[in-house]
Structure 1
Amino acid sequence: MGDLLFIDDIKPGMKSWTAIVTVQEKLNVGSAPSTPTKWQKFIFVDSNGSKVQGVLFDYAIQKMGPKLKLYKKYRISNAEVRAAAERFQLDGLKLQWIISTKTVVEEIDEADSSVLPFHFDFTAYKDLPPYVDMKYETVDVIGIVIHASAIIPIHKDSRELLVQKFWLVNEEMNPILLSLWNEFTENQGKSITDLKDKHPVLICRRLNVVMYNGIALSTRNDSVILVNPPVREANQLKHWAARNEKSFAGLFRITCMLNKVSWVKA
């Protein structure tokens, strides 16, 4: 166990260090067709609000991945610190911690972790049009789920893709369609569907904006879907939803008529 440091004090090549961090994001496992290597990325944040990207590869995903749970606090020691190539950076984070089976990861029990001080910058639904079909530009949004469709298989370029669609709404009262693709349907999609009657809050990060019966949102490989996250903005939206829940069904029907959506009864 090394010196206790903040994220910004930990530099590439440093050894004998320890940091206390919370898991803000846990991405789905990724891979590439050209290599058998698999990886899983995380975003850790410390008490100063500083962030760093964590990465697990191959066997470490199986061994260490289940230990690192969303919103939990950990004492991490002696991960390998590397500079992250620009194309692999999440949110412009220039450093990454490579967590192997030799990295010390210890969960810290907290007496009160009901609301975490994470900060997000959301794009308003009315401000989404300029981002349409901009492949390398993404948005972060927050919304209440007012409708969930079934998973649908789609055949494209000799591949079968899975998609699941959800309608989101926030205080703007202008519903928007969110499409989850492939592994998102199996992971986050299932969690959302199980909670659909309770109108869960979603914080969605790094989404693409597309045209599909109007402005819509779509996941990409590095997206994150946080379901009912314990943060202030989600709690505020949940309280707003409780006051306006009776209007959701009518709002959804009107939206479907306007957009001529064919899967209203899905």
Structure 2
Amino acid sequence: MRKLYNSIKDINPKTRNWKVKVVVAEKTMTRTSMQSPTKYMRLILADSQGNKVQVVIFNQREIDMFDHLLHIIRTYYIHNAIVKPIKPEHRIVDNVYQWTINATTLIEEISNDDSSLSAPSFSFVPFVELHKHMDYSALVDVIAVAIDVCPARQLQTRNGSSTIQEVILIDQLLKPIILTMWDQFVTNESAAIAQIITTRPVIMAIRLKVVSHNGKLFSKKNKILA
């Protein structure tokens, strides 16, 4: 019988026959590894205490298996994912371990509202305060309405050529900001936004870097939720 743990922090590579209740806080679209043609999807799970863990699913077959099961803001029991250390440069959340979900991982959705976990909270930065974060290493979260998607174009960088695409966002004061997508974000998130741009979707963008370039320009770092 699997032991139910209350905290993500209780789970380490030596833990056996475990399960923990979590909510899906973040979920990316499918990505291709920079070092190989391997496909992967990344998620962030959170527990009732606010602890978070980075989770990855590899290979298109298993991504397809879990993509329609794991949904943002829904609560699940996760049983026996693979737990391994993750290098500091690859960490998104404050956890030294990363979980890998594969075909042997058991996932149970919790549909009882009384048992569901609260949705994670975000500290959105108003557009009028973005100048305080300009050109600093700190990353910010914003929520805004997407009103236009510019054509994609190539940009030469020190590391070669990159594809970028700019999305125009406005806040409740109709103040515009440019959100710049890079490479795979152009292929995935930007393309998804372009398909629904006529509906003026509300976009939640997290872990953005604010840089100075002809005004305020967002450099996309992690993910978009539309």
* Contact 2:44 2:55 (C-alpha < 8 Å) held by counterparts: yes
* Contact 1:13 1:80 (C-alpha < 8 Å) held by counterparts: no
Identical-residue share of aligned pairs (%): 30
Whose helix proportion is higher, 1 or 2?
A: 1
1:103 aligns with 2:105: yes
Superposed CA offset, 1:30-60 (max 9, x none): 5223x55554321012233332111223467
1:23 aligns with 2:24: yes
* Contact 2:52 2:94 (C-alpha < 8 Å) held by counterparts: no
**Aligned residue in 2 for 1:156:** 156
Letter in 1 for 2:151: I
Q: 1:152: how far off?
A: 1.6
* Contact 2:48 2:118 (C-alpha < 8 Å) held by counterparts: no
Distance 2:209 2:86 in 1: 23
Q: 1:19: how far off?
A: 1.6
1:69 aligns with 2:71: yes
Distance 2:201 2:217 in 1: 19
Q: 1:199: how far off?
A: 2.4
| Cα-Cα RMSD | 3.0
- Runs of 4+ in structure 1 over 4 Å off: 35-38, 157-160
Distance 2:172 2:118 in 1: 22
* Contact 2:149 2:197 (C-alpha < 8 Å) held by counterparts: no
Letter in 1 for 2:128: K
Task: Within 5 Å, give how 1:18-97 maps onto structure 2.
Answer: 18-28=19-29, 29-33=31-35, 35=36, 37-58=38-59, 61-62=62-63, 64-66=65-67, 67-97=69-99
Residue 203 of structure 1 aligns to a residue whose secondary structure is strand
Task: Structure 2 unaligned segments of length 5 or more: list them.
Answer: none
Task: Structure 1 unaligned segments of length 5 or more: list them.
Answer: 228-266
Superposed CA offset, 1:161-218 (max 9, x none): 4333222222454321111223223322233233323322111111121223201112
Relative distance call for 1:75 and 1:217 in structure 2 (3 A) is same
**Aligned residue in 1 for 2:223:** 224
Residue 128 of structure 1 aligns to a residue whose secondary structure is helix
Q: 1:139: how far off?
A: 1.6
Distance 2:14 2:61 in 1: 20
Distance 2:187 2:60 in 1: 21
Distance 2:207 2:83 in 1: 24
Q: 1:77: how far off?
A: 0.3
Relative distance call for 1:85 and 1:64 in structure 2 (3 A) is farther
Distance 2:175 2:60 in 1: 44
Letter in 1 for 2:224: I
Superposed CA offset, 1:101-159 (max 9, x none): 211123333569xx95221112232332344344x4322111122x2124323153696
**Aligned residue in 1 for 2:4:** 4
Superposed CA offset, 1:219-264 (max 9, x none): 13xx11011xxxxxxxxxxxxxxxxxxxxxxxxxxxxxxxxxxxxx
**Aligned residue in 2 for 1:257:** none
Distance 1:142 1:123 in 2: 8
Q: 1:86: how far off?
A: 1.1
TM-score (norm 1): 0.70
Relative distance call for 1:65 and 1:208 in structure 2 (3 A) is farther
Distance 1:88 1:42 in 2: 13
Relative distance call for 1:155 and 1:121 in structure 2 (3 A) is closer
Relative distance call for 1:154 and 1:65 in structure 2 (3 A) is farther
Relative distance call for 1:215 and 1:83 in structure 2 (3 A) is same
Distance 2:37 2:193 in 1: 30
